[in-house]
Amino acid sequence: MHDTSGILSKKRGAYYTPEAVARALVAWAAPSQSDRLIDPACGDGVFIAVHPNSVGVERFSPAAAVARQKAPGAIVHEADFFSWAAETHERFDAAVGNPPFIRYQLFSGEQRRKALAWCKTQGANFSGLTSSWAPFIVAASALLHRGGRIAFVVPAEIGHAPYARPLLDYLVGHFTWVQVISIREKLFPDLSEDCWLLYCEGFGGISRGIAFTKLQQFEFTSIPPTDGEWISIRDWKLAFGGRLRPFLLNRTIRGFYSDIAADRKTVLLSQLAKVGIGYVSGDNDFFHLRPSQALELGIQRQFLVPTVRNVKAVTGGEVTKKSVQLWEKEDQQYLLLRIRKDASLSHEVKRYLESEKGHVVRQGYKCRTREPWYSVPDVQIPDFFLSYMSGDRASLIRNNAACTAPNTLHVVQAKNKQSAVAIRHGWHAPLTQLSCEIEGHPLGGGMLKLEVKEAERVLLTGRVFSKADERLLAEGAFEMKRWRHYAS
């Protein structure tokens, strides 16, 4: 994707689609030349250029201008799609495209309010944490004639994001056929996000499930691949909490996993422990000191707590007194300045807080919104730390040296001694590794992210498995890693 016009931009969610993909989606969605087609976010016009009876909407004028050149037969409206959709009386046979993937942090203000309000009138209830592409699909569908089709490039988040559920709920409630196609090899090599395809037909009807197809790579076809699996609405909602991603696993592994989940000996991590995020200091450089610095400033040890700043700081799966001694010897920045709210401050601490740097740091958002600004909240000394962004696997680190950790790690506080033992023994089992892959989600670049809520659902069991069963579970974990591009 080579941009010569400056019309590609992450902020606007502008990643333009390869022509073969656009042709495939249009060929199926609007098979007759007379079918009226809309692309709600047409960008430079790759979809509308390959169909003679098209309408494109694009908010960004330079892109709309390129679209007009590329698709001279099409009508291109330069507008915000949601405002346009709410006003227009036009109806279409097909909607296609690659809607902008703008995360909720940037998809905000009046634009988001309008989009979500419009979706609500159509029966799709999205939360404020929704990325822009999902409301685009709902709003574009609402402009279809009865029986109409849609075909969209969608982010692979459709397989796991919480807001994918209201979208899929809307789709099965408004189309007679809903098909999601996962594609392992990247459609957009420059984008860290994987993209999948979505095909729906029969607007105005309802569907009893979702067809799910797994492809290694995209290949042009004028109809969607017919192989795949039919997932009933019940299975989709119950088996994995309304997420499609776990269906990337084959039936045997999925079935085995579900049986283990239902077993009496299996528990969720949340039954054994409280999982939370580490503290947010407000300024890591200011609040984390090297031993030499602490000495020079004269800051007393009662104000300092050893902290595990990341997984790399630890070897062998546990933090011990020896690890801390090593950090001390290497003069690492491992001492958190922890001042309890009601603590009386020593002269040396006051001097550090009143330093030039201290005056800058207290203006930062986190510091100025807490009282007192220098007291870092939620400093916990947990039983374990858990990596929440992981490569090969989510690491569990035993805390044998009364350390704390910032929010680069999760903190895991076992409910009692027995629970701590169960966590320690169970964590490395193939079941738990697979469970991390199923409950977590890919972050791009091969990484696995495990949010607190996801970590809480990770399974542990005291059950002993045969070698063959262990292999099956390990195979499942490997397969999920392949889908997140960690293993090949």
- According to the binding rule CB under 6 A, does residue 14 interact with ligand SAM? yes
CB of 56 to ligand SAM, least distance (A): 8
CA–CA separation, 314 vs 113, rounded Å? 45
Binding mask 32-61 for ligand SAM (x = CB under 6 A): -------x-xxxx-xx---------xxxx-
Minimum CB distance to ligand SAM smaller for 15 or for 279: 15
Q: Does 307 bind ligand SAM (CB under 6 A)?
A: no
**Nearest distance from residue 256's CB to ligand SAM, in Å?**
39
Minimum CB–partner distance for residue 122 and ligand SAM (Å) = 16
Selected binder of ligand SAM within 15, 175, 385, 483 (CB under 6 A): 15
Q: Does 126 bind ligand SAM (CB under 6 A)?
A: no
Rounded Cα gap, residues 39 and 46, in angstroms: 10
Q: 98 vs 307, which CB is nearer to ligand SAM?
A: 98
- Tell me which residues in 169-208 interact with ligand SAM (CB under 6 A): none
Of the candidates 273, 344, 272, the residue with the CA atom closest to the CA atom of residue 302: 344
User: Applying CB under 6 A, what is the total number of residues that bind ligand SAM?
Assistant: 23
C-beta of residue 24 within 8 angstroms of C-beta of residue 41: no
- Taking residues 86 to 125 in sequence order and writing x for each that binds ligand SAM by CB under 6 A, - otherwise, the string is -----------xx-x-------------------------
> For residue 69, which phi and psi values (nearest 5 degrees)?
-70, -45
SS3 144: strand
Cα separation of 301 and 299, whole Å? 7
Q: Residue 17, interface with ligand SAM (CB under 6 A)?
A: yes
Out of 30, 49, 63, 85, point to the residue binding ligand SAM (CB under 6 A).
Answer: 63
Among residue numbers 324 through 363, which ones bind ligand SAM (CB under 6 A)?
A: none
* Contact assessment for residue 75 and residue 55, using Cβ atoms and an 8 Å cutoff: yes
Question: C-beta of 82: minimal distance to ligand SAM in Å?
Answer: 6
Q: Which residue's CB is nearer to ligand SAM, number 70 or number 254?
A: 70
| Positions 225 through 284 that interact with ligand SAM (CB under 6 A) | none
In this chain, which of 81, 199, 256, 483 binds ligand SAM, going by CB under 6 A? 81
* Burial of residue 301 (number of CB atoms within 10 Å: 0-12, 13-18, 19+): exposed
For residue 440, give the nearest of 466, 426, 458 by alpha carbon: 458
> Reading across the β-sheet that carries 389-390, which strands appear in turn?
389-390, 447-449, 441-444
Q: How far apart are CB 195 and ligand SAM at their closest, in Å?
A: 10
* CA–CA gap between residue 443 and residue 171 (Å, rounded): 25
C-alpha to C-alpha distance for 441 and 381, rounded to whole angstroms: 27
- Nearer residue to ligand SAM within complex by CB, 45 or 440: 45
Which among 7-15, 305-313, 364-372, 442-450 is the span making contact with ligand SAM, rule CB under 6 A?
7-15
Nearer to ligand SAM, 60 or 212 (CB): 60
Q: How far is the CB of 108 from ligand SAM (least distance, A)?
A: 12
**CB contact set of 12 (below 8 Å; sequence gap of 6+):** 59, 60, 100, 102
d(CA 337, CA 348): 12
Q: Does 372 sit behind a cis peptide bond, omega within 30 degrees of 0 on the bond before it?
A: yes
- Is residue 12 at the binding interface for ligand SAM, with CB under 6 A as the rule? yes
111 Ramachandran zone, left/alpha/beta (phi>0; psi -120 to 50) = alpha
Residues lying near ligand SAM in the complex (CB under 6 A) are found at 12-17, 39, 41-44, 46-47, 57-60, 63, 80-81, 97-98, 100
